[in-house]
Structure 1
Amino acid sequence: MINNNDVIETLDELEAFLYAIETGGLGLANVEGVALATNNTDGRPFIAVLDDKQQLILGRWVSQDVYENGKDMVRHGTKKVH
């Protein structure tokens, strides 16, 4: 579900990823939310795209900086006009 080579390194990349989700640009169905989380095995941070049953439908690794500083963007969405 998570591509190991696809890491969101900056807040700009996080914003672009969230915008793509918000506008349906990734072609995902049944998206109900996103969350920042950590992997239970190794503590590595990632962003989770969740469906209406809170099941992971897509995940992307994020840098520690994005995990620590991108929480408000994940909570409130991007500021881009759709």
Structure 2
Amino acid sequence: MINDDAVIDTLEELEAFLLAVESGGFGLNNVAGVALATNNADGRPFVAVLDDNHQLLLGRWVTPEVFENGKDMVRNGPKKLH
């Protein structure tokens, strides 16, 4: 499920989203990973939270800039604030 109203347009928002997923803030079960992807129908980029069967649990649209510049953050995880 992708929320059409929620677009992540900064790296700070992407980091907050990833931290919320990691901490269980969305109440999702069986989270296995997070990936950046593009919609097959229109090529629009989004961040996807996937379960252990690679099924979409939650998604948020991202801007092209966040898609390009957030790849390392999604791959390696957000910075931990201590």
TM-score (norm 2): 0.96
Per-residue deviation at 1:81? 4.4
Name 1:13's counterpart in structure 2.
13
The one-character-per-residue Cα deviations of 1:44-69 (angstroms, maximum 9, x if unpaired) are 00000000001001010000100000
Counterpart amino acid of residue 70 in structure 1: G
Cα distance in structure 2, aligned partners of 1:81 and 1:53: 31
Q: Which runs of 4+ in 1 moved over 2 A?
A: none
Aligned residue for 1:15, secondary structure, equals helix
Name 1:64's counterpart in structure 2.
64
Name 1:42's counterpart in structure 2.
42
Count of paired positions: 82
Structure 1: gaps (5+ residues) = none
Structure 2: gaps (5+ residues) = none
Counterpart amino acid of residue 57 in structure 2: I
Cα distance in structure 2, aligned partners of 1:11 and 1:48: 15
Per-residue deviation at 1:74? 0.1
Per-residue deviation at 1:38? 0.3
Aligned residue for 1:73, secondary structure, equals helix
Name 1:24's counterpart in structure 2.
24
TM-score (norm 1): 0.96
Aligned residue for 1:58, secondary structure, equals strand
